[in-house]
Amino acid sequence: MADRIELLGAFADPTRQAVLNLLRSRPSTVGELADRLPVSRPAVSQHLQVLKTAGLVDEERRGTRHYFRLNPKRLAELREHIDGMWRDALAAFSNFAAKESSGNDKRRKTRAYPTKRSR
Partner DNA sequence: ACATTCTGTAAGCATAGGCTTACCGTAAGG
Partner DNA sequence: CCTTACGGTAAGCCTATGCTTACAGAATGT
How many angstroms separate the CA atoms of 102 and 70, rounded?
Answer: 49
Out of 11, 22, 46, 81, the residue judged to bind DNA by CB under 7 A: 46
Q: Mask of contacts with a copy of itself, 51-80, x by CB under 8 A?
A: -----------xx-x-x-xxxx--xx-xx-
Beta strands of 1-119 (E only): which ranges? 28-29, 57-62, 65-70
Q: Mask of contacts with a copy of itself, 86-105, x by CB under 8 A?
A: x-xxx-xx-xx---------
How many angstroms separate the CA atoms of 73 and 38, rounded?
Answer: 29
Residue with smaller CB distance to DNA, 8 or 85: 8
Buried b (16+ CB within 10 A) or exposed e, 66-85: bbbebbeebeeebeeeeeee
Out of 17, 21, 40, 95, the residue judged to bind DNA by CB under 7 A: 40
Residue with smaller CB distance to DNA, 40 or 94: 40
How many angstroms separate the CA atoms of 6 and 29, rounded?
Answer: 24
How many angstroms separate the CA atoms of 96 and 40, rounded?
Answer: 50
* Footprint of a copy of itself (CB under 8 A): 4-5, 8-9, 11-12, 14, 17, 20-21, 23-27, 29, 31-32, 35, 62-63, 65, 67, 69-72, 75-76, 78-79, 82-83, 85-86, 88-90, 92-93, 95-96, 112-113, 117, 119
